[in-house]
Amino acid sequence: RVFSLSSLTAASLCFRYCLQPETGGECLRWGVNRSLAHSRVLAHKERLDNLYVAFAVMLRAVVKAGDAITAAVPPAGAAMGEGRREWETRLLPGVRALGAACPTSFDETSLLEGDGEGLRREMLQARFEHLGRIMRCVGCDRCKLWGTLQARGFATAVRVLLADADGPAPALTRQEAVALVVTLERLSASLAFVRELL
């Protein structure tokens, strides 16, 4: 349930939906598809719950990995340097404040405690690898891009959260850092969209 991407994907696609497709596959007009949002997400309490749980997971991971995200972005270069400064001065402090204000909803370390910890960790990793293979087979390029990015974001979040609880977050690649931050942003935007429609 925690790692269900269907609610996030459905909410994201309903928020920016092709309302007027062109014959060649392009879209002439984008907008909100309220009826699809209701049928795919809003009419299903468990799907709404999934969005909130996924947001809590991602927020905790981004808070824990804040310094690792900063370290993954090179400070040199105009575009990278400016983005990194904004992350360090505005976005990361805001994310940390939000994380401190949110209640603790679960203890992620309990996912792997006890007998068979190694096996459960391997099974979890295998599920994310399988999800990545599924995303490569998706026909819609837009869905494939967002699904792959979000799957990587969740896989990275799990790796961050299940790392040494008292230690710093593991080092991240730039792609993992981007996936974490973008997935948190997509979840946040999806929840704002859901609140607007309810």
In this prediction, residue 44 carries a pLDDT of 84
Token pair for 174 = 């730039």
In this prediction, residue 48 carries a pLDDT of 83
In this prediction, residue 190 carries a pLDDT of 85
Contact 22, 168 (CB under 8 A): no
Query: Which residue in the block uniquely carries the two structure tokens 């960790």?
Result: 121
CA distance 142 to 148: 10
Q: What is the mean pLDDT of residues 22-32?
A: 83
In this prediction, residue 4 carries a pLDDT of 58
Q: What is the per-residue pLDDT across 1-17, written as a single tens digit (0 to 9) for each?
A: 444 567 777 777 777 88
CA distance 16 to 138: 19
In this prediction, residue 172 carries a pLDDT of 94
β strands within the chain, DSSP E: 17-21, 27-31
- Look at 38 and 120; give whichever has higher pLDDT: 38
- Look at 113 and 187; give whichever has higher pLDDT: 187
Q: What is the per-residue pLDDT across 127-177, written as a single tens digit (0 to 9) for each?
A: 777 777 777 776 677 777 777 888 889 889 888 888 876 778 899 999 999
Contact 18, 27 (CB under 8 A): yes
Q: What is the mean pLDDT of residues 28-50?
A: 85
In this prediction, residue 134 carries a pLDDT of 75
CA distance 121 to 106: 18
Contact 1, 28 (CB under 8 A): no
Q: Around Cβ 146, how many Cβ atoms within 10 Å?
A: 21
Give Cα separations from 195 to 45, 57, 87 (angstroms): 13, 19, 26
- Percent pLDDT > 70 in the chain is 88
User: What are 26-35's contacts with CB under 8 Å, separation 24+?
Assistant: 32/193, 34/197
Q: What is the per-residue pLDDT across 61-97, written as a single tens digit (0 to 9) for each?
A: 999 999 999 888 877 766 677 788 888 889 999 999 9
Residue 107 has pLDDT above 60, yes or no: yes
In this prediction, residue 184 carries a pLDDT of 92
Query: Which residue in the block uniquely carries the two structure tokens 């929840």?
Result: 191
In this prediction, residue 195 carries a pLDDT of 85
Token pair for 22 = 């062109």
In this prediction, residue 111 carries a pLDDT of 62
Q: Which residues of 65-84 are buried (b: 16+ CB within 10 A; e: fewer)?
A: bbebbebbbeeeeeeeeeeb
